[in-house]
Structure 1
Amino acid sequence: MPIHRLPDNPSLERLRKQAKTLLQYVKAQVPEALGLVAEFHPRPPETLRLSDAQLVTARMYGFASWPRLKEHIGAVKRYSRSPHQVAPSEELPEEFLRLACLTYGSDYPGRTEEADELLARHPHLATASIFTMAATGSADALADALAGDPGLARAQGGPYGWDPLLYLVYARLKVPGRSVQSARLLLDHGADPDTGFLWDGLTSPFTALTGAFGGGEGDQPPHPQGLALARLLLEAGASPNDSQTLYNLGLGGSFSDETTHLELLLEFGLGQGAGGPWHALLGPTLQSPRQLLREELATAALRGGPRRARLLLAHGAEANGLGEHPAYGGRTPYELALLNGHTEVADILAAAGASVVLDEMDAFTAACMRADADAVAGFGPYVLERALARSPELINRAAEHRRPAAVRLLAGLGFDVNHAHRATPLHQAAWNDDVETARTLIELGADPMIKDTDHDATPLGWAEYGAKHRVAAYLRAVAENRGPVHG
């Protein structure tokens, strides 16, 4: 049996109850429970005790023993932070830091600008504490403070319970000050280049590197001096096998085929070694360095990144390696590239030895996504009918992957340009700042006033929230040309 995935923010009490339930089921001779014992207990006893059930529970989740599982849960609790849930403070230094830094949960438009305004009204905030000195890049004041007390470099405090280096790399001030010099000062005085936290208990660390690079599901901006900060951190010993950085700039958020971050991480050993201190601390809940490369190649195939694919293959990524994230659906990179119309990536993978035989429905999908009208016609009406019934979201996928020709072909085949798969194709184009696909959808009859099912927002609302300026301007012009809607 495969090892199970430990739930995020795990509860020791819940796991204790799970072990007790397992013990009860074994005593009742429930076949599934007996199978678990046979699979995961190294020496199954004739009579199972609670300690044996706890061992089986631990090994189910990839831990060698119950004490190791308890240690893991203690580490999660120790490093867990929930910055997005911190309430406003009447203390100005605390409120300044609360507003100045990314939280990955409450990063609404204009939030960090409020911190800029607060600092403009109260300039003394820049040097009010070791944490505000770091966030504002006040290198001279920071040098004086650290000379008096080097231990401040590892102090934890402020609204998020972070150390100074985290406030520095997660701050997004309009004028970041001398951030690189400030980071070097902190590192020289003992700051940990691998410092980080577990966001709301999730076991993918938000490290200092993560903060420097930004990105993510909200398309958070990088630090203004992010690349220089990232290099400094890596030179100081930060692990390049940083799963959250890779997610934020890969599978999470809008995608581009930019490779700068990958080149830097690969230069310092991404995909190699034991995984760094976070991997040692969190054990089987984090992917191995080799698996991180598999995930990245799968992402390049899924989202259409030929430059990324070439770079990763050149650094040892396996052409047929499987990514573990549910978004990949158990597909190889080659399958993902074909099924999403990324022919250049598919050709790169084929040249590296990848191959697959697609079934009829997958072959039809691949033809649609690469906008091959002749191939689509060759499948006949029965396959089209099945596709319309089983996969009405294909047109959403085409929009998500910036494929206006595929959108046009699918609409002509009868796929609904307003299909709401949580959001509509036009929402996807808006979030990608993809004017060409948005224009194609509008020409095909997409409704610019339709709202998504999660946030009750129009495509223009998505564009404005995500600061997607080009498509926002286009959608505003569309709205103006439509005129008022009555009834």
Structure 2
Amino acid sequence: MPTLGMPNRPHIDSFRRQARALQRAVRTGDPDALARLARHHRGAAPDGDNGIQLSVAQLVVAREYGFPSWPALTRYLDTVAEHGWDTGLGAAAVDDPAREFCRLACLTYSREDGPERWAGARELLARHPDLTRGSIWAAAAAARPDDVGRLLAERPRRAVERGGPFRWRPLFYLVYSRFDPAIPGEAVLATARLLLDAGADPHEGYLFDGLPSPFTLLTGVFGHGELGTRRQPSHPYWRELGRLLLDAGADPNDAQTLYNRMFSPDDSHLELLFEYGLGAGDGGPWKARIPGLATPARALRVLLRWAVVHRQPARVRLLVEHGVDFRSPFEEDGPAWSPADGRTPVELAEVNGDTEIADYLLARGAEPPGSDPVRELIAAAFRADRSTVDRIRAAHPGAVERARRDRPGLVVWAAAQAPITTVALLVELGFDVNAYGRADAPVEGDWETALHHSAGSGNVELTRRLLDLGADPDLRDRRFDATPLDWARHLHQPSTAAILEPVTAHKAAGGG
């Protein structure tokens, strides 16, 4: 199990320094260093005054980052050196009109993305209509097949040459371009076919900031992500372009696409990917380059967990109908919101109060969960079923105390997923209305309070109710050091900001 997160833009020299520092610390008997050695290399022990060999320290460092060996870590860093890309380039303006057009036109999966950039690209192209004539990267981003065809005729290898402001290949600029939603589909597909016919790789991708999940051509086609569909939309012709790439051999098991699209209940991307074998195979060339990537089957299990706990019944049905394992407990760690906690999908549905998904899974053959008063109490609370809550409390007097101990941040998750009556019922049961938790997943995490969530989501009724229940408007979240009012302002929620302004002691915007 990794205990450290991979840094952005990792370099081998940093890991070498970490290994040497660990070697020195073990030699001096540092307790933390000895604990790291015991955790990641059982059986290894310092050899008197000599400490440990550098190779042992390197192995411990590699395992701390989730790699089985130092060579596996170095192979990954070689992959980063070849395929890594720095999202900071998206914020760096350039003088050359063709390069600047590419920079403004394309998704960069950074905070720079959004309609304002794309409007700038349109204006630049209008001022310099010939900027695509000498740059195949700009011609691809603008989907101008005549210019692309002429440039390829002059030198066919241009189809596989890196260039432009991001050092991407031309096809990548085409599929990540968003500057003009009204661009003709015929021009987009004609440009893509020219590049593929000239040797462009349908598997092309980059490791954004050196992180291990590749952003591929398919990732760019399907779009979406943490900034929402306004700032990170799908390509206007995602279906046709996606099918073209899949027909050309792109592997449908695109983990970053699954992540970027999981926030929306729309399953059209999954339906297309299942046509081409999503969930089957060995994971393609990227799995070969980065062995630590999830297998196709495991990636879909992680997606199933998200769909269950985020009340996406149509997605649950689609995944089950395509053979995703819905009976086994989750015993392999995925992301932080998908822990190996041993719960089955039907248990997760029940504890989330989602009888529709639970009943569906049971009807498909999932094993009914055994009796658990704590799970049943939380499930009843999420259904706002007070009579069942009272019955469980009478039969199991310690259930509420155990629930509070096991799920101290439950009010935050309830604020994001359940009716206001559930939030009020949990507070009545003694759950702390000011507890820190996570609103994005039903796992414990010291992130924000329920009031932060309601303020940032613009939920006026919930914000007022939380204040009535004793929520403290002056608490700061643990990630951005911001008050709920800061969240409302930063996320452009004037209705909740108006409620919080009179009751917040420190009204200056924080770091939210």
Fold similarity call, TM over 0.5: yes
Q: Which residue of 2 aligns with 1:335?
A: 347
**Alignment partners' CA distance in 2, 1:160 and 1:446:** 48
**Alignment partners' CA distance in 1, 2:129 and 2:16:** 52
Q: Which residue of 1 aligns with 2:265?
A: 257
2:110 equivalent to 1:105: yes
RMSD over aligned Cα atoms = 3.9
2:279 paired residue among 262, 271, 275 = 271
Identical aligned residues as a percent: 39
Q: Give the superposition deviation at 1:4.
A: 6.9
Q: Which residue of 2 aligns with 1:368?
A: 381
Corresponding letter in the other structure for 1:122? H
Aligned 1:172-321 pairs, distance under 5 A: 172-174=178-180, 175-177=182-184, 178-219=187-228, 220-250=232-262, 255-283=263-291, 285-319=292-326, 320-321=328-329
**Alignment partners' CA distance in 2, 1:194 and 1:90:** 31
**Alignment partners' CA distance in 2, 1:229 and 1:449:** 50
Give the unaligned 5+ runs of structure 1.
41-46, 465-471
Q: Which residue of 1 aligns with 2:149?
A: 143
Q: Does the residue aligned with 1:335 lie in a helix, a strand or coil?
A: helix
Q: Which residue of 2 aligns with 1:70?
A: 74
Q: Which residue of 2 aligns with 1:397?
A: 413
**Alignment partners' CA distance in 2, 1:48 and 1:417:** 49
Q: Which residue of 1 aligns with 2:509?
A: none
Moved more, 3-12 or 212-221: 3-12
**Alignment partners' CA distance in 1, 2:300 and 2:87:** 29
Q: TM-score, structure 1 length as denominator?
A: 0.80
Where relative contact order (Cα < 8 A, 6+ residues apart) is larger, the structure is 1
2:131 equivalent to 1:122: no
**Alignment partners' CA distance in 2, 1:121 and 1:403:** 52
**Alignment partners' CA distance in 2, 1:327 and 1:372:** 26
Judge conservation of contact 1:257–1:304 (CA < 8 Å) in 2.
no
**Alignment partners' CA distance in 2, 1:483 and 1:262:** 41
Task: Go from structure 1 to structure 2 and tell me whether the alpha carbon gap of 1:31 and 1:199 turns closer, same or farther (over 3 Å shift).
Answer: closer
**Alignment partners' CA distance in 1, 2:5 and 2:448:** 30
Q: What do residues 4-39 of structure 1 show as CA deviations (whole Å, max 9, x unaligned)?
A: 777345443344455554698599896974785567
**Alignment partners' CA distance in 2, 1:383 and 1:399:** 21
Q: Which residue of 2 aligns with 1:13?
A: 13
Aligned pair count reads 460
Q: Give the superposition deviation at 1:307.
A: 1.3
Corresponding letter in the other structure for 1:292? A
Give the unaligned 5+ runs of structure 2.
45-50, 438-446, 506-512
Q: Give the superposition deviation at 1:152.
A: 1.2
Task: Go from structure 1 to structure 2 and tell me whether the alpha carbon gap of 1:129 and 1:85 turns closer, same or farther (over 3 Å shift).
Answer: closer
Aligned 1:416-435 pairs, distance under 5 A: 421=437, 422-423=447-448, 425=450, 428=453
Moved more, 210-219 or 414-423: 414-423
Q: TM-score, structure 2 length as denominator?
A: 0.76
Q: Which residue of 2 aligns with 1:43?
A: none
Q: Give the superposition deviation at 1:344.
A: 1.7
Q: Which residue of 1 aligns with 2:510?
A: none
Judge conservation of contact 1:302–1:337 (CA < 8 Å) in 2.
yes
Corresponding letter in the other structure for 2:266? E
Judge conservation of contact 1:417–1:446 (CA < 8 Å) in 2.
no
Task: Go from structure 1 to structure 2 and tell me whether the alpha carbon gap of 1:33 and 1:449 turns closer, same or farther (over 3 Å shift).
Answer: closer
Q: Does the residue aligned with 1:224 lie in a helix, a strand or coil?
A: coil
**Alignment partners' CA distance in 1, 2:454 and 2:103:** 32
